[in-house]
Amino acid sequence: MDKIKMKTPLVEMDGDEMTRVLWKIIKDELLLPYIDLKTEYYDLGLPERDRTDDQITIDAAMATKKYGVAVKCATITPNKQRVEEYNLKEMWKSPNATIRAILDGTVFRAPIIVSNIKPVVANWKKPITIARHAFGDVYKASEIRAEEGGIAELVFTSASGKVTRMKVCELEGPGVLQAMFNKDRSIRSFAHSCFRYAISTKQDLWFGTKDTISKQYDQTFKLIFEDIYNTHYRAEFERLGIEYFYTLIDDAASRVIRSQGGFIWACKNYDGDVMSDLVSTAFGSLAMMTSILVSPDGCYEYEAAHGTITRHYYRYLQGETPTSNPMALIFAWCGALGKRGELDGINELTEFSKKLERACIETIEAGIMTKDLAALAEPGSKATVVNTLEFITEIKNKLDSEL
């Protein structure tokens, strides 16, 4: 078989620790034998970020803007302990935060579903993808703890000098106060990313806020979404037969539980923080969860939702055979290659990524899995626990028989 040729390079961001080890195995075993892989490589491993004063992260984000599709390995976000461990010049910022800020993107988290690992919510048959607005609200709020009573006011001085003043409350004793904000610009970007991702994956989009109670704040979110939907996306949604559905956040929460899945749930920042943990836990495992950053102008960056699996890496350094689950990393590559194929009109590439995904799922459904999944598999279903390399070899055999 001839190797599949690519046109536009994929932006490849390498990472740290155990996932860096898995990254190389995945490329060597599952990609390079089949694809004339064309990537623009950025080493986001911590030593290289330190050496380049984190310029490499910025370059990688700019390359993603240029080419439109990236795949990223997990990376260490340094803390004090990492600064010592790697003898860093500085406590560099989280690469994901840097990339997200440059692309102005929204993160979509989606579970990988297999038939022998059942979600806690029995009626969920298809993935539920959570889109979390990652700017503002309570995460950028100002707070006051009042130790005695008093009057609280909200004051806004506009750029042109107009002052709006509003009494918030009169505290007769100690209490707490909070002021938060968001920007139309950020809400608009969030909305564009959500509608684009719904179109790109042909799924319904749900959005919920508390606009009945929050008649200015949440109402603004609702109106901006509605406006952007009507002006830019309604026709395409109708053509694809997908739906944009707005409801109150509490109604959304109860409908999600009763649903079969298969849609995107857009959430305000705090709702998304809480609901993404709830949904991902109910689906089973972080090792079976992918994460896709979508920018409002349609750039895509694919990665695993988990971190660098440090504990496994330290054991690997001591000579232990890797046992980590590579599913989310493989799916990140599949997502990116599939999107590249779609954008460049390379059908073989899109087909290859679908076949590789199917080979992964069939391997697990045949009962061959890493130990993290064996613990979650349906009672009574057979599970053969294998290490990472054995697991990848099984996937490769399945893939070969499909190609």
* Residues at the interface with Mg ion (CB under 5 A): 273, 277
Q: How far is CA 103 from CA 23, 43, 374, 392, in A?
A: 24, 19, 38, 33
**Residue 54 or residue 303: which is nearer to ligand NAP going by CB?**
303
Q: Which is nearer to ligand NAP, 85 or 400 (CB)?
A: 85
Q: Which is nearer to ligand NAP, 199 or 376 (CB)?
A: 376
Q: Which of 362, 387, 385, 360 is nearest to 374 (CA)?
A: 385
Binding residues for ligand NAP (CB under 6 A): 74-77, 96, 286-287, 303, 306-311, 324-325, 372
| Least separation in angstroms between CB 286 and ligand NAP | 5
Least gap, CB of 18 to ligand NAP (angstroms)? 8
**What is the CB neighbour count within 10 angstroms for residue 400?**
12
Nearer to ligand NAP, 96 or 186 (CB): 96
Q: Of ligand NAP, Mg ion, none, which one does residue 357 interact with (CB within 5 to 8 Å by kind)?
A: none
Partner touching 273 among ligand NAP, Mg ion, none, CB below 5 to 8 Å by kind: Mg ion
CB of 132 to Mg ion, least distance (A): 9
Q: How many CB atoms lie within 10 A of CB 269?
A: 19
CB of 218 to ligand NAP, least distance (A): 29
Min. distance of Cβ 57 from Mg ion in angstroms? 23
The listed partner (Mg ion, ligand NAP, none) that binds 259, CB under 5 to 8 Å by sort, is none
**DSSP β-ladder status, 289-294 and 300-304:** antiparallel
| Nearest to Mg ion of 236, 277 (CB atom) | 277
Structure tokens at 182: 């968001």
Q: Are 321 and 389 in contact (CB under 8 A)?
A: yes
Residue number, 72 or 340, with CB nearest to ligand NAP: 72
In contact, 391 and 363? CB cutoff 8 Å = yes
Which one of Mg ion, ligand NAP, none is in contact with 77 (Cβ closer than 5 to 8 A by kind)? ligand NAP
- Nearest alpha-carbon partner for 352 in 32, 126, 113, 70: 32
> What Rg, from alpha-carbon coordinates, does the chain have?
23
Distance CA 344, CA 8 (A): 7
CB of 315 to ligand NAP, least distance (A): 9
Per the DSSP assignment, residues forming a β-bridge with 301 are: 70, 293
